[in-house]
Structure 1
Amino acid sequence: MKWLSSLSIERPVTTIMLIVTMIALGLVSLVGLPVELMPNLNFPVITVATGYSGVAPQDMEELVTKPIENAIESIEGVKTMTSSSKEGMSHVVVEFEWGTNLDSKSIDIKDKINLIKRMLPSDIDDPIVSKRNIMKNEVAMKLNLSGGNLSDLKKIADDVLKPKFERIPGVGSVDIYGGLDKEILVKVDPYKLESYGLTVDSLINLLRTASVNMPAGNIKEGGKEFLVRILGKAESVNDIKNIVISNKNGNTLYLKDVVDIMLGTEDRDNYNRFNGKESISLNLIKESGGNTVSIADNAKKMMKTLKNELPEGVKLTIGQDKSTYIKDSMSMVRDSALMALVLAAIILFIFLKNIRATLIISTAIPTSIIFTFVLIKYKGISMNLLSLGGLALGVGMLVDNSVIVLENIYRHLTEYKKPVIEAARDGAAEMGLPILASTATTVAVFLPVAFTKGIAGEIFRDFSYTVAFSLLASMIVALTFVPMISSKILKEGRETNKEGKLFVKLKEKYSKWIGIALSNRWKTLGIAVFIFAIVITAGIKFVGLDFFPSTDSGEYTVTATLPTGFDLEKANKIGKKIEKIVKANKYTKKYITQVTKKTIIVDVETPSKDLRKVSIEDISSNIREKMKNIPDITYTVKGSSRGGGGGGAAIQVSIQGDNYVILEKLSNKVKEKIKSLKGIVDVESSFEGGNPEVRIKINREKAEYYGLNISYISSIINSKMAGIVPLKIQSSGQDIKVKLILKKEYRDSIKKLEDILISTRNGETVRLKEIANFEQGEGPTQILREDKRREIIVSANNSGISLGNATKEITKAINGIKFPSGYSYKFGGSQKSMMEAMQSLVVAFLIAIFLVYMILASQFESFILPAIIMISVPFSLVGVYLGLMITGFSLSITVMIGIIMLAGIVVNNAIVLIDYINLLKAREIDRHEAIKKAGKTRLRPILMTTTTTVFGMIPLAMGIGASSDFYQPLAISVIFGLSVSTLLTLIVIPVLYSLFDDFHIWYMKKRGKAE
């Protein structure tokens, strides 16, 4: 490395141009980098979805889901296969191992489904095979349209707003909720039709053919050719009413004579409100690869242009803007990095007491950061919470290389009284290998994380690359820019080693402590081991285990599930009660409500966490407590976690077996057990009550006698009970459906259902009851399966208790339930993901330790010295557990990343110390004196690098700003781990060095070799 520092000093212009080029490339790379909250997560999951209208869950399972599962299970690499069979819908989810080529697996699945298509019902929807992307179908922005009647607003949303917003780059679709569509209702009395010799089927065919415009050829006349068109398309309610059914002997029978026809609106199937007032929501759905910030910015520009196009009184406002949180998070990371830079500069000045030296390093830091953007862009990494967070956390570490080089140059200049150029060259060259080793060890610990398979690797890959890139950039700067600028700025004879009285006293004290420790080596080592054992034991007992740290995004969602059979109006009344509770909370800023017969969802936005005195978890608990007063519902109140923890309930217990009756009984027992546990909230089951149903069993022989098949009978029943739309008319530029349906009195009883007339192929009719038997029953609303076994999932969230402790308590409770043979339970959800991620990161940690050892062994040409240095790694765990116990955080995935970081950071101090001990011993200085002198000489760079790293992470450890709580436990772990490890390393490493050196001398003597 000597040649590099010498070259930089001899060719300063070249060095400056190199640095300027690095900065220029970095700034160019920074422009246009996409901004997102989290990296694009591609899960190894493929879904197969298909529909079969009107078919019950049990029949969907038997006719559609099972054949698809049987076909897919033979594909190589399938890890887990789950499915959901609901009324009219089948959804199969296939999970593969991480790293699987999903493109080829998608082709395999499509091929398998094509082979079994003949086994599936002929009239099902074509199965759709798609890869799952967590960022796909994500809502980038919710817009709110209000200020008019709901049918007019719906027309504006459909015809004006939807097409315009769908043209915004990155928007996959615009989903519209709320509003009412106009509809012409043709209400049929089947007995009245019979009196006219008509059937519902004949009316459907009449409507389909009575409203058309058709070409009728061409006519040539007067040298011109005319197109002949027959205009028969209905354009109003009156046109529909006056459709002629028959005209016999001058007696005209119109459609209005046999049915009731009126213009109205479609039957409501939902309510949508913004801050309690009915409105329409337009959800801008991000396509795969779309950018939330870009979409939101373009949408706001579009809103300005549309302002004057909307009718008077109609307003288009922002209901929810996901980009705001992203921008706030990026600002938090940027501010943390700048604050870290300032703190590092202050610490350097305190240690160096030299403004020129401080400026040298303060210039080196931003240069390293800016150049990192070149590598980020080359790698295809976006500016997200992980990549920028890596830079913010790494600011303190970026100082290390430059500090070590500058401090050594400073020492050569002041202590050895060398000329400035010689001091710069020799000082940088002397530290070349230690810097290379320390950088290599720190970079090496991030490589296993970058290549780790699983969700932890996917999430922290950008983070790992960013830290590694920035450290490599800092090494280049330290070995080129720092010695070059030092040779130009530092002045011979004017520089003094201004350590200060306090620091001089500290060095003297430290020298005495080393002497005492070396005189009591085994006692010192015993005390260190005792501290390690006590803290680690206490940490394991008292520190909880979580997947990700809970993040406060300022939003929470109330989800209420209603019993089967509720009508929409009753659901809406409950929705208003929930809104009243939400509105009464003083921290509610705005809320969006969506109500269906089955579910009520209220998305609530509060001020940012810095503007309120309570956490989002406290607010959720308050809302949850008040929700207890609403009967007949199950509900969850969950904060929006944007740190990567994923959606859904944190705790999922899957009860598996074959018989759904037994599964229901077991799931109810599990649910009641979990409900009784403290700290477990939002408990609900995937099997909530039964789905009342009328089962129509077609007599196949009788149906065949009349020339009918089951598929035809099903379609007729469905069209008469649910209604059918045989045509649409266009009025005032708006498409209006014409819906034919039996009058309500003929649809509100099973007896009326039995009397439905079915047209046969020979023109006759037969009542449904003549070819079918009827029975009432109750079935599940959905049937879940995992690996072809039926399951019911009991889900919950933890509140005030870690996920690990919650899992322990639930396990104890469930183990008290006796499961029949063939029935079992297991955990899924966040707990399953947490354990898989933890296992992956433990493996990554062990690989990192091995790589660090290999690098150190190569540097020192020894197997013993790296082992001594590596002792600093377990000592860092003492600090980590102390930090977690003091601050109350749990051991999470982010903390594990911090521990892996420490494996590369804490060894640097020991490297610098032992490298200098070896250097002094090579100069034939007594070992005892070499250790003491090395300790005194390296104390300042060790404390400088440790302090700058620690202070560089303080801004994130403070937890101020959006998304800071994601990094807070990581920063705290590194701060405490590095601090404690440094203190123990300064004493224990010299002791271990002397012990191993004694062992080496004894071993060499025993082998008869001179030392």
Structure 2
Amino acid sequence: VAENIRKGLPEIEAALPPGVEIETAFDSSTYVKRSIRETLQTLGIAAILVVIIIFLALRNVRATLIPGLAIPVSIISAFAVMFFLGFSINTFTLLALILAIGLVVDDAIVVLENAYRHQEELVEDPTAAARDGTREIAFAVIATTVSLVAVFSPLAFLQGTTGRLFNEFGVALAGAVIVSSFVALSFTPMLCARILRVPKSHGPVFQTFERGFEGLATGYNTALAWALRHRWIIIGGAVGALVVAVVTFRALEREFVPDEDRGWFLSFIQAPEGSTVEFTDQYQRRVEAILAETEDVDLYFSIVGGFVPVNQGLVFSMLTDWSERDRSTQDVIGELFPQYFGIPGVQAFAFAPSPIGGFGKPVQFVVQHPNFDSLIGGMERFRSRAGAIPGLINLDIDLKVNKPELTVSYQRDRAEDLGVSVEAIGATLETMLGGRRVSTFTRDNKLYDVVVQMRPEERATPSDMSGLYVRGREGGLINLDQVATVAEDIGPSALLHYNRVRSYTLDASLTPELVLGEAIDSLRAAAAEVLPPGSSNSLAGESRELEDSGTALYFAFVLALIVVYMVLAAQFESLIHPFTVLMAVPLAVSGALVTLFVMKSTLNLYSQIGMILLIGLASKNSILLVEYANQLKAKGLASIEAVLEAGRIRLRPILMTSVATIAGASPIALGLSAGSESRIPLGLVIVGGVLVSTVLTLFLVPVVYVLLDALQAKLSRRTETPSLAQTVEA
């Protein structure tokens, strides 16, 4: 849209009168284009990191090429899915594809590693190794894909702002994962049969890495054997991790979305009620003078009146390019705050609107009371109490009880004696002061209104109303003072309602030290202290979105767990093994919460979405272990021997896929693109959750598998024993 406007500007400018110029005063597309361009660069960086990780793990160019080709095939196919669904290329769909890079190679890595093992350990020819290795691992690939898609499915049904933001995110990510599973089960085996070869001898670098991995595998096998002998210690450690998660969850601060440096901010000016445009403009120019002297402010444009009342003004300020400044938007606003505060006569403050959209402040706290007098009676007390909350700045209440007004009181008895009606008094005031259209006339084929009204200088002060006259019973003129009194007073500029109840809204900005969730909790505590009985409160704007999104995402998390459990139960044809697989999820969530706490991040929209994604990401490793242990048990191995062998065989693909996922999410966690500050928590959740769950899952899942298998065997023996006894008796 912005590009089309720029193309049309020369034609519009040519039609303007001489001396009139068009300049770009504000352009939000600058941030959008910069963000998308740098997100695409992040996409490339993630792909390169993943390929490097694969090469370091395999130390073979041919082997690296096979899963490496899964990246462009899956990502391009995901673009095709987005095209047919009518999605656009935006920061959320690109964010999904960045995460997808670490996921689409997972299935290809698992298939490749198994085919390579069949060539190296079982000494099969490439074609047979590709066929048998893929057949052996196909169930695990399908199970991981279906579980990931099942996790994303609740995201597609979220409502409100959260749903609008992440519908395309979930669908794009699920589309890429589905395509990657087809690639892993068709394209990857073909490449393994054609180009994958196990060298007869390896170089010193390969041997060094291989000895290191063999040492790691031996150490893991020894540690796993110890864990299986001391199962309840491992279970206790898992319970301890859950306790840490609960404590950390309570300690983390909550907000809707973190602040973003979008390269612009707003300045708001509020003059006293009843101020003229000229008065407001006089003080707004002082704000403009401050902005003109502020470093890193590139340009600004100012509005007085217009779509806001005449006693209010707005200034849109654009900052210089991100590459040309070291300060963020919040740093610039912090510099302006004391200067604006020093302007007498008006209230002026600067703030950066919410990254999600809109121009409101983050804190919007609504107070309601059915009685208007009680409502305004506690308003100033609440405002003073809210002003004492540290970190809450630029407080304002939309209900202004300071608008000058004139109250005309009708003296009924005297007016009745003189024959003056209320209607006559009202019509006189309306005509003389407000103006009334009494007729029309036509001139040069144009219709004009005839409006009767006193001259401005004759109605400038309230005392001028004493010079008005009305007609009495016999047509005589009677002075307005004889039948009515006029009193000066103040009243509300508007009567506001929220859910059909009289209300006002306190809005405020936040300093970096205070997050939105803590601010809302503090305001609720203050409201309980000072508001009169019968008052209620609610939230609006970004504050409401924080509350609604939290509830919706917690519901989506639980729903995703249930859906994944049902999908895995159908695939494994068991109610026990899905529970074993999902034991990795609490560990992943624990790791994610601890990572957020250590990095001083918050629980917000992005980090909660990351928690939902962790259900599928953490389940992948468990599925690889449990599925192969089931295969070995079917061949006659006992449970302990089966999980020991499954751990040895599946250690390499688990580590490779986990490190690839971490590498794909690392650019997001590092915040490498413009305005990426808000998306950093999502990257931290994935990196921390996958890292911790990978390490702990390698021990907890085998232990739980053995315990549940023993419990299942005991229950089976109990059900078989009565049946056998009944048969002998018969």
By the TM > 0.5 criterion, same fold?
Answer: yes
Report the alpha carbon displacement of residue 297 of structure 1 after superposing the two structures with TM: 0.9
SS at match of 2:257: coil
Deviation sequence 1:180-230 (CA, Å, 0-9, x none): xxxxxxxxxxxxxxxxxxxxxxxxxxxxxxxxxxxxxxxxxxxxxxxxxxx
Distance change >3 Å, CA 484–CA 629, structure 1 → 2: same
CA distance in 2 between counterparts of 1:996 and 1:297 reads 62
Aligned match of 1:563: 272
Report the alpha carbon displacement of residue 445 of structure 1 after superposing the two structures with TM: 1.1
- Normalising to structure 2: TM-score of the pair? 0.90
Matched, 1:331 2:37: yes
Could you tell me whether the CA contact under 8 Å between 1:396 and 1:950 is conserved in 2?
A: yes
Distance change >3 Å, CA 517–CA 450, structure 1 → 2: same
Q: How many residues align?
A: 709
Matched, 1:549 2:262: no
Structure-to-structure mapping, 1:586-625, within 5 angstroms: 586-596=295-305, 597-625=310-338
Distance change >3 Å, CA 958–CA 1004, structure 1 → 2: same
Distance change >3 Å, CA 411–CA 738, structure 1 → 2: farther
**Is the deviation greater in 867-876 or in 806-815?**
806-815
Which residue among 857, 863, 880 is the counterpart of 2:592? 880
Report the alpha carbon displacement of residue 367 of structure 1 after superposing the two structures with TM: 1.2
Letter in 1 for 2:652: R
- Normalising to structure 1: TM-score of the pair? 0.66
Aligned match of 2:431: 716
Report the alpha carbon displacement of residue 992 of structure 1 after superposing the two structures with TM: 1.4
Distance change >3 Å, CA 422–CA 653, structure 1 → 2: same
Name structure 1 gaps, 5 residues minimum: 1-293
Aligned match of 2:235: 525
SS at match of 1:501: helix
CA distance in 1 between counterparts of 2:13 and 2:457 reads 46
Report the alpha carbon displacement of residue 790 of structure 1 after superposing the two structures with TM: 0.9
Aligned match of 1:106: none
Which residue among 560, 575, 580 is the counterpart of 2:289? 580
Report the alpha carbon displacement of residue 632 of structure 1 after superposing the two structures with TM: 3.1
CA distance in 2 between counterparts of 1:928 and 1:707 reads 98
CA distance in 1 between counterparts of 2:442 and 2:294 reads 46
CA distance in 2 between counterparts of 1:932 and 1:439 reads 25
Matched, 1:810 2:523: yes
Distance change >3 Å, CA 932–CA 796, structure 1 → 2: same
Aligned match of 2:146: 440
Aligned match of 1:365: 71
CA distance in 2 between counterparts of 1:473 and 1:995 reads 36
Letter in 2 for 1:419: D
CA distance in 1 between counterparts of 2:448 and 2:68 reads 69
Aligned match of 2:223: 513
Which residue among 108, 131, 144 is the counterpart of 1:402? 108
CA distance in 1 between counterparts of 2:489 and 2:701 reads 76
CA distance in 1 between counterparts of 2:477 and 2:225 reads 108
Report the alpha carbon displacement of residue 608 of structure 1 after superposing the two structures with TM: 4.2
Distance change >3 Å, CA 1006–CA 367, structure 1 → 2: same
Structure-to-structure mapping, 1:228-247, within 5 angstroms: none
Distance change >3 Å, CA 495–CA 1002, structure 1 → 2: farther
Matched, 1:868 2:580: yes
Report the alpha carbon displacement of residue 401 of structure 1 after superposing the two structures with TM: 1.4
Letter in 2 for 1:525: I
Distance change >3 Å, CA 969–CA 609, structure 1 → 2: farther
Report the alpha carbon displacement of residue 431 of structure 1 after superposing the two structures with TM: 1.8
Name structure 2 gaps, 5 residues minimum: 724-730
SS at match of 1:552: coil
Aligned match of 2:726: none
Letter in 2 for 1:631: P
CA distance in 2 between counterparts of 1:473 and 1:794 reads 49
Matched, 1:315 2:21: yes
Distance change >3 Å, CA 728–CA 948, structure 1 → 2: farther
Give me the identity figure in percent: 29
Could you tell me whether the CA contact under 8 Å between 1:848 and 1:903 is conserved in 2?
A: yes
Aligned match of 1:504: 214
Report the alpha carbon displacement of residue 725 of structure 1 after superposing the two structures with TM: 12
Deviation sequence 1:385-426 (CA, Å, 0-9, x none): 222221122211111111111111222222222222222222
Matched, 1:837 2:552: no
Letter in 2 for 1:814: A
CA distance in 2 between counterparts of 1:724 and 1:668 reads 45
Letter in 1 for 2:37: S
CA distance in 2 between counterparts of 1:450 and 1:535 reads 27
CA distance in 2 between counterparts of 1:334 and 1:370 reads 13
Distance change >3 Å, CA 858–CA 755, structure 1 → 2: same
CA distance in 2 between counterparts of 1:624 and 1:696 reads 43
Deviation sequence 1:15-72 (CA, Å, 0-9, x none): xxxxxxxxxxxxxxxxxxxxxxxxxxxxxxxxxxxxxxxxxxxxxxxxxxxxxxxxxx
Deviation sequence 1:436-464 (CA, Å, 0-9, x none): 11111111111112112333223211111
Letter in 2 for 1:890: T
Matched, 1:790 2:506: no
Aligned match of 1:490: 196
Report the alpha carbon displacement of residue 494 of structure 1 after superposing the two structures with TM: 6.1
SS at match of 1:317: coil
Aligned match of 2:691: 979
Aligned match of 1:8: none
Letter in 1 for 2:365: V
**Is the deviation greater in 422-431 or in 940-949?**
422-431
Could you tell me whether the CA contact under 8 Å between 1:726 and 1:740 is conserved in 2?
A: no
Could you tell me whether the CA contact under 8 Å between 1:589 and 1:607 is conserved in 2?
A: yes
CA distance in 2 between counterparts of 1:729 and 1:341 reads 74
Q: Which has the higher contact order (CA 8 A, sep 6+)?
A: 2
CA distance in 2 between counterparts of 1:915 and 1:1001 reads 18
Deviation sequence 1:104-134 (CA, Å, 0-9, x none): xxxxxxxxxxxxxxxxxxxxxxxxxxxxxxx
Deviation sequence 1:612-663 (CA, Å, 0-9, x none): 323222222221222221233334421133335x542222232222333332
Matched, 1:693 2:405: yes
Structure with higher strand content:
1
Structure with higher helix content:
2
Which residue among 364, 380, 405 is the counterpart of 1:652? 364
Matched, 1:378 2:88: no
CA distance in 2 between counterparts of 1:387 and 1:840 reads 21
CA distance in 1 between counterparts of 2:289 and 2:447 reads 37
Report the alpha carbon displacement of residue 846 of structure 1 after superposing the two structures with TM: 0.7
CA distance in 2 between counterparts of 1:711 and 1:378 reads 64
Could you tell me whether the CA contact under 8 Å between 2:353 and 2:360 is conserved in 1?
A: no
Could you tell me whether the CA contact under 8 Å between 2:340 and 2:349 is conserved in 1?
A: no
Could you tell me whether the CA contact under 8 Å between 2:238 and 2:700 is conserved in 1?
A: yes
CA distance in 2 between counterparts of 1:360 and 1:368 reads 13
SS at match of 2:529: coil
Distance change >3 Å, CA 992–CA 311, structure 1 → 2: same
Report the alpha carbon displacement of residue 568 of structure 1 after superposing the two structures with TM: 2.7
Report the alpha carbon displacement of residue 960 of structure 1 after superposing the two structures with TM: 2.4
Aligned match of 2:728: none
CA distance in 1 between counterparts of 2:604 and 2:27 reads 29
Could you tell me whether the CA contact under 8 Å between 2:441 and 2:447 is conserved in 1?
A: no
Letter in 2 for 1:508: T
Deviation sequence 1:838-859 (CA, Å, 0-9, x none): 1111111111101111111122
Distance change >3 Å, CA 944–CA 767, structure 1 → 2: farther
Report the alpha carbon displacement of residue 522 of structure 1 after superposing the two structures with TM: 1.2
Report the alpha carbon displacement of residue 509 of structure 1 after superposing the two structures with TM: 1.4
Aligned match of 1:352: 58
Deviation sequence 1:585-629 (CA, Å, 0-9, x none): 212111111224311211111134454323222222221222221
CA distance in 2 between counterparts of 1:554 and 1:577 reads 22
Cα RMSD, aligned residues only: 3.2
CA distance in 2 between counterparts of 1:502 and 1:852 reads 36
CA distance in 2 between counterparts of 1:580 and 1:903 reads 53
Report the alpha carbon displacement of residue 525 of structure 1 after superposing the two structures with TM: 2.0
Could you tell me whether the CA contact under 8 Å between 2:365 and 2:505 is conserved in 1?
A: yes
Report the alpha carbon displacement of residue 973 of structure 1 after superposing the two structures with TM: 0.7
